[in-house]
Amino acid sequence: MFLSVVKPNGTEPGLTLKSNQLREYLTRDSGCSFVGHSFSVLFSWKVIRFYLKKLVCRTNKMFSLKNYRGSCWVNACLQGLFRIPEVQQRFTEEKADPANPLETSLQKIWNSKGTEGLKEFFDSVKNVSLPTGRGTADSHELLIYILDKLPWLEDLCKFAVVDKISCTKCDYTSECKDTKIELSLFPDGIGKTVSECIAHEVQETLPEGSKCEKCGEPYRKQLLLGSFPKVLLLHVYTEAQKRTEYCSNLIVNGRKYILLSVLSYNGAHWWAYGRDGQGKSWWTLDDTRVTEHKPNEFPLSHTMRMLIYYQIHE
């Protein structure tokens, strides 16, 4: 099906598109109907550019989300999750658990490209501290809440850790095994890389006031990583003089991760950066403002709060 577009004066040739999707957008929103195999209709170039941009976003799995009563924190969280390949595949194939209203609403949002499902999602989040659609809150807290409600997604983020204690004097040692779904990073200066922050979190420390259970002398403590998740969630705590520089690729104990999305917060507003895989363009996903960055342009920001990395095998 062809769509012929001419400039408003009707004399200069415009552009002809073989695009049922663009035709769908124009038909739905303008009220025009298409007859036969071609149809010429007058639209301003501003309108055409708007719908072309919308079509590109749809093709690239990027779409906008409306802000309802300060729901930027919800939108940022969802945009981050929608960059995970397993999430995209599950919802595209419509494999959401029909008994789980939160998951079915997310599937509806994904498959409608944000035009449906948000209200159902707001209703499915039954948590006093998460006023979805009614006020502002924290994207990080919502992310953890969603993982708790979607075990298959939580499993992608789980990794084993060991808290090891060793006495500085005697031979006493203790190991406590646990699982986590995120790693918290506390930069100890300006310009610290993600790798440096991770190394800082797993280095051996001498806690102030620590006492060995056996001899009463100080002990050393260290966090050991026992396994490595498919999806690595990094929760970054930043201050004016303590922040990190994130990178698009990360090596952790020989395993390669690529950054898929970033949740950012400037003290008043949440938004996300995302891409659909290694070598793909980055996008700013800020409520209804969806903007593609130039090739090889990396949107640096000191406002990051959550980093979502994905393990790849080469």
Q: Within this chain, do residues 40 and 79 fall inside the same structural domain, yes or no?
A: no
- The CATH number of residue 248's host domain is 3.90.70.10
Q: Within this chain, do residues 308 and 161 fall inside the same structural domain, yes or no?
A: yes
Q: Within this chain, do residues 308 and 160 fall inside the same structural domain, yes or no?
A: yes
Q: Are the beta carbons of 234 and 309 closer than 8 angstroms?
A: yes
Domain count, the chain: 3
Position 49 pLDDT exceeds 90: no
Q: Within this chain, do residues 212 and 290 fall inside the same structural domain, yes or no?
A: yes
Ordered DSSP codes for 226-251: ----SEEEEEE--BTTB-EE--SEEE
pLDDT per position as a tens digit, 116-145: 999 999 999 978 889 998 899 999 999 999
Domain that holds residue 117: 72-154
Q: Within this chain, do residues 127 and 270 fall inside the same structural domain, yes or no?
A: no
**Which two tokens mark 84?**
């995970």
pLDDT per position as a tens digit, 89-107: 999 999 999 999 999 999 9
pLDDT at 279: 87
pLDDT at 247: 84
Is residue 17 situated within a structural domain?
A: yes
CA proximity to 139, closest of 190, 228, 65: 65
Position 29 pLDDT exceeds 70: no
Is residue 64 situated within a structural domain?
A: no
Average pLDDT score over residue span 37-60: 52
pLDDT at 45: 57
Q: Within this chain, do residues 77 and 129 fall inside the same structural domain, yes or no?
A: yes
